[in-house]
Structure 1
């Protein structure tokens, strides 16, 4: 085993590489998977290899992976989702539940069977250093992610590296490749002040360590300038922020909100917070949650509706105090939505304890409840407690799930108009996903060009987990405060290319009495744009939006069907290749059409020439 703990103790030693280029926040992505190896790729040359990354666990883990991907990309490595094409596997692990750790163990076995170099990061190696599955494997701790390049390079050389000890937090200005370019996951602190008897994460993330307000505000300024549309504050306990540095959460939140664009183009989502610490700042937190740029949503885990179970968990609050948090926020914040967590079958939980939990969930009918069975985590006090029989645990979990699924939390929303912020494509490949101010998920049929925008929608129907909406205003129809007067006749032309979400804007030419107005329609097809001379806005007719939705629905259904067929056949088609083929077909169509027109005109010309000669003779 090789130890590189001292590699940067006195600056860069001989042989330590610097980034290939200046480190940016979002280095250019490499191809998702290499079908043929780059001729410059050489196992002996660092930075020419492909790294497969897999992430388990919470948003904090996801942020760590994005930071690691950013650093690897900055040093020339290609990061891929395809394990078969990679030269090394990097697994970022979660220790909260047994299934996550079991999935990690399975993946490690697959990697070893494939004879691939392996690096394991995250909470599992940090909290369980002597785990058998990690023998002979390079590991990197949760506070050492800024040294991932060193670990990868040494592992590729055949060395085993372990970096697990550190006293300072990783910098926030490291290069980062976001999984979703519109969402920044911002860790505000690591660790917590609690000592829950079932929690293994405390073993990994440790005692509370908070970033300074200034460093977080600077990060917010940076990501807003880069076009991020949602900022998720992430930590093991958001409410505990700052207690180690003489600061508190309301001060941080107000400082961040002051930097958000006043046009509400970037929204803030406050992360999970346990009841004990938020109780001290309920009114201040409610005031922030009312802000137009902050989602009126909070994740507050209760874990049980029984005080005796909460005491056994060492949660440091009572059910009454949890109710105070929920009731106060609902009273003070219009449209407030609260999510919570429940653990079924904690050691010592009686039928009466469980009944109290069911009663609590029925009373509040939370729109989101994360229900999990108790899993004893090695090394925790709860692992030594007398367990509830597994058959009883499963029964209670099913019963509570049935209770939760019987609610209709979004009933009555039909017909309402809501502003939503759109950030991703749904897993069905058909809908775009947006969220209301209360962070209710809204599915819409709309062009992909609307990703990263906000718009008004009319709620058409509601489901158990989300609602469906119809766009009644499209961002592309909102032009930059141009005023048009008089009678205007407009013609709309197709875009010379594809109107998509790429940085280069598509210019759809619209002629206005000799003056060209450049704007991009929400689809590649020609658009009918109507300008009301009495207003200053370009409006897109509802019948046009309906036709766009109809075309997109048909198109995405076909793509979704193709995607499902490919999954069943164990294939992984590249969307870029599909688009490229579509573009080629479109080009060929135009070439053939052009050839036909030329042939027709040539034939007509010859006939005219022949006729004139016959008449002259």
Structure 2
């Protein structure tokens, strides 16, 4: 048994009814709520399947088995799966994507759309046919625990992911466990195995305050529950130390954060930004937010989105361009209010990119309603639109409404998709010099994937060693879904932030760190066209900046080996003089400086030492 494993097998099960444990906390005398392992977060563990041991009895040893883990749904679900994989790995289990050779299947489910749940049903059937032990997690069992498909299946609730090891162990022993009831949130410092070691998906709250008539997620995730600012900042600092380069804030509604604990989203975002490295090596991506709650903080959110450490990107679902349909959906905002969000952020944040969602064929949607949706999308030409057909979810009010004929729903979905695909949102980017953050490998296994400040996907050619780094690239061509670029400079960890996306000539300019106040947020006035590219007299801080020692790339797409060619330019040091009202920048070449008193004293000491040695030699002779 691995040394970090805490055995629970000696604990006495009680009150078992018909072989089903409804809650492990009720059946293990010594299993205290909030049980935590005395281990550090297992980040970046290889989740590939371990080699089978020769000893045939290993299947009976807890922690020696292989677990097949499959995830459906949103980034919040992905984060939950990473936490479950981390705990299982910490106990010695091997987490695999090979279903055939696994000893147990763990399926993390999504209840948003019928296709996701249908895929889950198919997978459950395959597992039962293969006679494999099965644990189902996520929103489906939490919101519909009495589903016929879940009969005889162990269940882990969305707030019980920190108990997954116990559920797996009991299931492997042949017990059916249903662990659903809890009033506290899982800790953020649990062991975690990230799907992408450079990306941390950070849940900031669960549940929401809305009551959309079509939504099943609230049945599973419940009412709003927010993590404290301190716990989230602690997690941010931890993952930055682990080498994470992107932090994605995730929740069912980011904009509602903190309303249950007396804070709000801007308070959290400012605190997170202050905890990020000043060199811009780690970027923050704000998660999906519905219009009602962000309306109260538009200018504050805009200021945060301008910060060099925050992607100028936001996912704001509109769902329909018709107020009548929005009312039927109980979305709690109008099309005019959605427009206000988009217009304000676009005006105040240079290079702002907004993604949105549309549901086609909601019950009662007329041709006129759908035409309003099409016109809205045509007007704004969003670079990202997630288009869905309406699927009635059991138990929701919309499921009882009169449906639009399915052939009409499909027709509208196809029409809107054609409209969206006719846009060319990245035209005009050719020739731009952009800073990107490289975090992934493209599906073609040839290109690396980076993102600009506006979260535009950039495909580059280069060695995998560039993953986790930041670079300056020149955009060479654009496509419908992404752009292509050549790397011209690799930015090192010591580099200061450069807001390169605001100028095509940035590579040849001095890059200084962003003006910041004591909290680390942008201290420039929003009235300026480029609020975070501050002039030397715009901020009241004293800073020391340095030219980065850069690496240059020439024609990286044809010769990746040139990626590590160093630039042979002198290093300059810039200091901002304190107490000067004009705050002049004094620049000096560190290789051609005047001698000071200390230099003179050192040379004099060496000269006197030489004379003394000569005198001693003569004396001895």
TM-score, reference length from structure 1: 0.77
SS state at 2:185 partner: coil
Q: CA deviation at 1:545?
A: 6.8
Q: Which of 542, 546, 556 is matched with 2:554 structurally? A: 542
Residue of structure 2 aligned with 1:282, choices 286, 298, 317? 298
* Structure 2 residue matching 1:357: 3-state secondary structure: helix
Alignment deviations for residues 569-606 of structure 1 (CA, whole Å, 9 cap, x no partner): xxxxxxxxxxxxxxxxxxxxxxxxxxxxxxxxxxxxxx
Q: Tell me which of 199, 223, 248 is aligned to 2:215.
A: 199
Assess if the C-alpha contact under 8 Å between 1:450 and 1:475 holds in 2: no
SS of corresponding position for 2:476: strand
Distance 1:192 1:17 in 2: 27
1:6 aligns with 2:25: yes
Higher relative CO (Cα under 8 Å, sequence separation at least 6) belongs to 2
1:28 Cα offset (Å): 3.6
Gaps in structure 1 of 5+ consecutive residues: 482-534, 552-617
Query: Does 1:168 pair with 2:168?
Result: no
| 1:191 and 1:209 in contact (8 A); partners too | yes
Q: Is the 8 A contact 2:490 2:550 kept in 1?
A: no
Q: Does the Cα contact within 8 Å between 1:29 and 1:78 map onto a contact in 2? A: no
Aligned to 2:252: 236
The answer on 1:65 being equivalent to 2:81 is yes
Q: Report what 2:572 is aligned to.
A: none
Deviations 1:186-234 (A, max 9, x none): 0000000000000000100000000000100111010101100000000
Distance in structure 2 (CA, Å) of the matches to 1:9 and 1:416: 62
Q: Is the 8 A contact 1:445 1:549 kept in 2?
A: no
Match of 2:139 among 117, 123, 139: 123
Q: How many residues of Structure 1 are paired with residues of Structure 2 in the alignment? A: 494
Give the corresponding residue for 2:91. 75
**Any residues of structure 2 matched to 1:585-600 within 5 Å, and which?**
none
Does the 8 Å contact 1:68/1:176 carry over to 2?
Answer: yes
Aligned to 1:513: none
**Contact kept in structure 1, 2:554 and 2:562, CA below 8 Å:** no
Q: Name the CA distance, whole Å, in 2 between partners of 1:446 and 1:438.
A: 22
Residue 414 of structure 1 contacts residue 461 of structure 1 at CA under 8 Å; is this kept in 2? yes
2:436 alignment partner in structure 1: 420
Specify whether residues 538 and 444 from structure 1 end up closer, same or farther in structure 2 by C-alpha distance, changes over 3 A only.
Answer: closer
- Inter-CA distance 61–306: structure 2 relative to 1 (3 Å threshold): same
Give the 5 Å matches for 1:487-498.
none
Instruction: Classify the secondary structure of the residue corresponding to 1:395.
Output: helix
- Compared with structure 1, are the counterparts of its residues 544 and 411 closer, same or farther at alpha carbon in structure 2 (3 Å cutoff)? closer
Task: Decide which structure has greater helix share.
Answer: 1
Structure 2 Cα separation of the partners of residues 228 and 165 of structure 1: 33
Q: Tell me what 2:337 maps to.
A: 321
Tell me how far apart the structure 2 counterparts of residues 215 and 471 of structure 1 sit (CA, whole Å).
Answer: 38
The corresponding residue for 1:375 is 391
Aligned pairs (5 A) from 1:53-202: 53-202=69-218
Q: Which of the residues 5, 24, 30 maps onto 2:41?
A: 24
Secondary structure of 1:442's match? strand
Using the alignment, how far apart are the partners of 1:410 and 1:380 within structure 2?
A: 39
Equivalent residue of 1:432, what SS?
Answer: strand
| 1:472 aligned counterpart, secondary structure | strand
Q: 1:462 aligns with which of 478, 482, 500?
A: 478
Alignment partner, residue 270 of structure 1? 286
Deviation at 1:12, TM superposition (A): 4.3
CA gap 1:549/1:100 in 2 versus in 1, 3 angstroms: farther
Q: Does 1:51 align with 2:70?
A: no
Aligned-partner SS, 2:327 = helix
For residues 333-371 of structure 1, give each alpha carbon's deviation from its aligned partner in whole angstroms, at most 9, with x where no partner exists: 000000000000000000000000000000000000000
Whole-Å separation in 2 of the counterparts to 1:320 and 1:536: 46
Q: Does 1:250 align with 2:250?
A: no
- Quickly say closer, same or farther: Cα 1:442–1:545, change in 2 above 3 A: closer
2:42–2:90 Cα contact (<8 Å) kept: no
Q: Is the 8 A contact 1:345 1:396 kept in 2?
A: yes
In the TM superposition, residue 540 of structure 1 has moved relative to its aligned partner by 3.9
The 3 A distance-change label for structure 1 pair 38 and 312 is: farther
Instruction: Mark the CA change 1:479 to 1:190 in structure 2 (over 3 Å): closer, same or farther.
Output: closer
* TM-score, length of structure 2 as denominator length: 0.77
User: What secondary structure, in the 3-state scheme, does the structure 2 residue paired with 1:95 have?
Assistant: coil
Any conservation in 2 of the 1:27–1:73 contact (CA below 8 Å)? no
5+ residue gaps, structure 2, are 1-19, 497-546, 564-621
Q: Corresponding residue for 1:385? A: 401
Structure 1 residues 6 and 548, CA gap change in structure 2 (3 angstroms): closer
Please tell me whether the aligned partners of residues 34 and 85 of structure 1 are also in contact (alpha carbons under 8 angstroms): no
